[in-house]
Chains A and B, each alone.
Chain A
Amino acid sequence: MRILMLEDDPMLSKLVSQYLSEYFCIDAVCDIKDAKEYLCQFNYDVVLLDRNIYGYDIGLNLISDIKNKNQSTGIIVISAYDNISDKIEGLNLGADDYLDKPFDNDELLARIYALSRRNQPFENIEIEGVSFNTRYKTISYKNEEILLTKKESEMFFYILQKKSQIVSKDELLDALYLNPQNISSNTIDVTIGHIRKKLPVPIIKTVKTRGYIIA
């Protein structure tokens, strides 16, 4: 999963990025201009927005840009503005969640996961006899567990999360690699190939020139 964090305080940005980088690919920016550039460049699953950027309450202005690019990108507003009216404003503008400062990192992590699970209402999915547990990222077939490497698992479950949607190579690169510009798209093809070999049934389908899909 790739996350964009807009936070003008460099220390907080550094600490939170450091924490979240254990779990996700994270891009931390400190102003709106940089945030817009990154949004153009990458596909994000979740955006963490600080409202107050250098003394101006302008963070929420980015929400429309984010949603215009990709409606399914989750937005969590993180702010010191904690009045009910402030929260209502943020949520009405399109934010999916609103977290008050000071916040707990673990709570933030849980909310990010919660947001990512929106598109996955079911924890256990079965496709053509193969069972998938999206929570624990396990695969089993006829009571035997199928093991994937870390990258293969991340890639497969990312596509599974977007079940019935075509997932482009670019989207996969952005979601799974910190510096996707340094990764060849062949890497995706190769990893998909490895996953297909390990799965007993053909689950991942290729949509020519567009990407992959799990129907």
Chain B
Amino acid sequence: MSISATIISLLLGTFSVVEYKKSLQNDVLNTMKMLADDILEHQFYTADEKELKSIMLSKDNYHHENYIGYMKYIGFKYVKNTDNLSYDLMLREKLPNGKFLVIYSSSESINHQVKKFLIHLSLGFIIILIILVGVFYILLEKLLNPLKCLVDYCNNVDSNINTLPLCNGSYEIKSLKDAIINLQNNNQQLCKDKQDIFKEAAHEIKTPIAILKARLSLFSKSDMKKSDFIKESMDDISTISNKLRELIFLKAIEWDIQKAKELVQMQNQCEMMQQLFHPILEKKNIKMVSNLEDDFTLFIHKEAIARVMQAVFENIFMHTKNGTTINNYIDAKKYELKIVNEIGENSDEILFSSKIGEKLISRLAEKLDYEYETYEKDGFFYTIIEFKAQK
């Protein structure tokens, strides 16, 4: 890039010099033209060649500084034939007497001025270069090097952060550096979480797979019916997929817990569940009723608790008897939600079921600060969720 800049600068400089020289030459020629016109007009051509110059010099018009400079180098000549003349700059005018007036000049003055111009141009170029280098150096130190440092931070994901350079720079650069580090840490954590989820999934499903293997081994050696074996194996496979589902659910909750807590109203949660499961409630002809006069507000991980509530209500809807009512009792003093439903047969409505079991909901109790209890009594199923920590 610097070579092309230099070449362009040289070309521009050359062009400028050439153009300047041309303009100077044009000025001289114009002066010569003026002189020639003047001579012809006032018939000064009658004078001698040497006298002619003195006459022109004496005229006020040519006392202007520029002309005086040119006049020094201008000469006059009368010739019959201009073919053999070769002056640097020359103007010829035909005189009435058939001769030619030749006004000529050497390029000495022009060359001198061009030299001066070249020197000025070079000096200017050097000064601009110095200024540019200075600006570039400042940019390098204050912007480009810190940016390069930040790029290194982005590229060196695996390196220990303490081995990377400090990235000195403005406050904004430092903030950007911190933001990049945070982003990398979060990304690394996400990658680790992703690896962990697979590792955990592999661990969780090993026992169910061992059961499947053991069953297959026994089947080959026993009189077990093929249909029984298939049925039991399908149950094993269902167990495996449930475990995976629960694992994904747990990970989603863990992710939700990373976000900030929010204010959540329990009545809203119940209404949300009613809306969410409206199709299944309609199909099973189940009503859901809440005691609207009472309500409490939780300061909790909103999405996480929504998932748990969804899982709780799903389980309830699955086993609630068709055509009955589910009652939600909200106790604002105890920060408790009690759900009572009549027990029916297990529904086949797996479409809306996340199949998150009670065990898992109990496991999450500690993470989300609630207590979870269920029991059956006189044909009714009671689900109690108490948010003691919120009191």
Contact = CB atoms under 8 A, between A and B. Distances in A.
Contacts of B217: 19, 104-106
A100 B203 CA distance: 11
B214 interface: yes
A103 B207 contact: no
A84 interface: no
Contact of B206 (A15, A101, A104, A105): A101
Given A11-B236, A12-B211, A103-B213, 10 more contacts: A9-B211, A11-B211, A18-B218, A80-B203, A80-B204, A80-B207, A81-B203, A100-B206, A102-B206, A102-B210
Contacts of B120: none
A14 to B, nearest CB: 9
Contacts of A100: 206
Interface string A16-31: 1011001000000000
Contacts of A16: 214
B222 to A, nearest CB: 8
Contact of A101 (B207, B215, B221, B236): B207
B212 A102 contact: yes
Given A18-B218, A19-B218, A102 B213 contact: yes
B199 to A, nearest CB: 10
Interface string B190-214: 0000000000000110110111111
Contacts of B209: 101-102
Interface of A: 9, 11-12, 15-16, 18-19, 22, 80-82, 100-106
Across chains A and B, which 6 residue pairs bring their CB atoms closest together, nearest first? A102-B210, A15-B214, A80-B206, A105-B217, A102-B209, A101-B206
21 contacts: A9-B207, A12-B210, A12-B211, A12-B214, A15-B211, A15-B218, A18-B218, A19-B214, A19-B218, A80-B207, A82-B206, A100-B206, A101-B206, A101-B207, A102-B213, A103-B213, A104-B213, A104-B217, A105-B213, A105-B218, A106-B217
Contacts of A12: 207, 210-211, 214
Identify whether the interface residues of B are mostly helix, strand, loop, or mixed.
helix
Contacts of B221: 19, 22
A13 to B, nearest CB: 10
Contacts of A18: 218
With most chain B CB atoms within 10 A of its CB, the pick from A22, A81, A82, A101 is A101
A104 B206 CA distance: 12
Contacts of A101: 206-207, 209-210
Interface string B210-243: 1111110110010000000000000010000000
B259 to A, nearest CB: 27
Contacts of A11: 211, 236
Contacts of A103: 210, 213
A188 to B, nearest CB: 31
A56 to B, nearest CB: 13
Nearest to A104: B213
B104 to A, nearest CB: 102
A161 B214 CA distance: 29
A16 B213 CA distance: 10
A19 B206 CA distance: 19
With most chain A CB atoms within 10 A of its CB, the pick from B212, B215, B236 is B215
A112 to B, nearest CB: 14
A102 to B, nearest CB: 4
B20 to A, nearest CB: 82
Interface string B11-22: 000000000000
